[in-house]
Amino acid sequence: MSFELSREHEEFRRSVRDFAEAEIAPHAAQWDKDHHFPVDVVQKMGQLGLMGLTSPEEYGGLGGTAEDGAFTSLCLAIEEIGRVDQSMGITLEAAVGLGINPILTYGTDEQKKTWLPDLVAGKTLAGFGLTEPGAGSDAGATRTKADLVDGEWVVNGSKQFITNSGASNTSLVTVTARTGVSDSGKAEISTIIVPADTPGFVAEPAYDKLGWHASDTHPLTFTDAHVPAGNLLGERGRGYAQFLATLDDGRVAIAALAVGCIQACLDHCVTYAGERQTFGVPIGRKQGVAFQIADLEVMLQASRLLTYKAAAMKDAMDGAGGPSAKEFKQAASVAKLYATESAVTATRIATQVFGGYGFMEEYPVVRLYRDAKVLEIGEGTSEVQRMLIARGLGLPVE
C-alpha cells in the first residue's frame, strides 16, 4: 500500500497553505494574546470546504470518498492550518472529527438532515462531550446520566475540556451518558445529541489554558436538560464503542496537528539560525545548533510518514484487501504517540535555538512551546497509546 501524496493532494495542500498564510498567520499572535476565538475565520474555513472534506454532497460537503483520499486531505488541512496556528488547527480537527463525524457515521437520516448542512458549511460547530472530572482516560467511568421519561431524555451531569462547545456558533454537543444497566450488570452508555439552546444545558466560562488560547474550550453542566427521545445518536448502549471508534480517527488527526507544529519549529529555526549571528557568523554554522535543527528534520519526516501511513490506511479500510480496523487502530496509536511526543521535543529544541529570544512572547516559538504539551494528552494520552500499542502486540497489559 502506498501512502505517498498524489498530485491532487499536493495541490490541495498548497491551497490550504495559501489560505492559512493569508487569513490566519497575520493574526494568530494577537488572537493568542487576547484569548480570542475568531468565529469569522472558522466560517471562512467552512466556505473553503475544509469542514466538508469527508461529507457527502447531499449535506453540502465536497463528496470526498476513501478512493479520493478524503481523510488524508483532512489531515493535510489540519497540518497546514496547525503550522501557522495550533488553535485553529485543533478547531478544524474537532469540528470535523469530533463534531461532524459522529453524526455522519451514526446519525439517522433525520439527524443528518437537521444538523449536518450548517456544520459542514462551517456556519455552526458541534462539541464532543466525553471527558468528565472523574472520567478521562477511563471513559467507562462516565457519571452523566440520561433517563428516558415520557418520550424525552433528561440529562444530568457534567463534562470538562470540551472543544467547540461554547462558541457563539456552537449548535450542539453530543454527550455520552449512562442510560441504564446492561444484562451483564455494567453501565449502559449511550450518546445523546443536546442542542446548545436546551434549557438546563450550560457552557460554563471558558478555561484559562496554558496554550491553545484561540481555541474554544469549556466545562459543561446539564441540569434536568430535556431533549427528545429521537436525539439518541446511534444504537442505545453503544455510545462508548462509538466514541472509541471516533477517537481512532481523531488520533491520526492530532498526529497531523503535531506534524504542523514540528514543521513550524523547523521553519522558524532554519530562518533564525541563518540570520542570528554570534562571534561574527550565523549560529547555523555552529554544530551545536545545526545538529539540533537536523534532529528536527528527522522527527518531522518520521512523524509525517507515520501520520500519512495511518491516514492512507483509514482511506483504504473499506476497499478490497484494505487494512483491518485492528491494524488501523495500531497505526493510529503509533502515529499519535510518536508525532505528539516529537512535537513537544521540537518546541523545546526550537526554544533553545532561539536562546533568550525563545523566552519572549513576541517570538512564535513561545506560542508553539505552550501549545504543544496538550498534544500528548488530548484524544488519548501517551500512556494510553502505549497501552493500546502493547495490546496490539498481544501483550496482556492492563
Backbone torsions φ then ψ of 58, nearest 5 degrees: -65, -20
Radius of gyration of the chain (CA): 21
**Do 31 and 87 touch, CB atoms closer than 8 A?**
yes
Q: What is the DSSP letter of 229?
A: G
Q: Is 204 a catalytic residue?
A: no
Task: Encode burial over 8-27: b for 16+ CB neighbours within 10 A, e otherwise.
Answer: ebeebbeebbebbeebbbeb
Burial (0-12, 13-18, 19+ Cβ within 10 Å), 120: buried
Give me the catalytic one of 79, 80, 376, 379: 379
**Do 188 and 178 touch, CB atoms closer than 8 A?**
yes
Residue corresponding to grid cell 450542539: 172
Comparing C-alpha atoms, which of 247, 97, 248, 239 is closest to residue 155?
239
CA distances (Å), 273 to each of 269, 278, 296, 364, in order? Answer: 6, 10, 13, 15
Backbone torsions φ then ψ of 194, nearest 5 degrees: -115, 110
Q: Determine the Cα–Cα distance for residues 297 and 183; give it in Å rounded to an integer.
A: 53
CA distances (Å), 382 to each of 137, 337, 373, in order? Answer: 11, 6, 11
Q: Which residues are designated catalytic?
A: 379
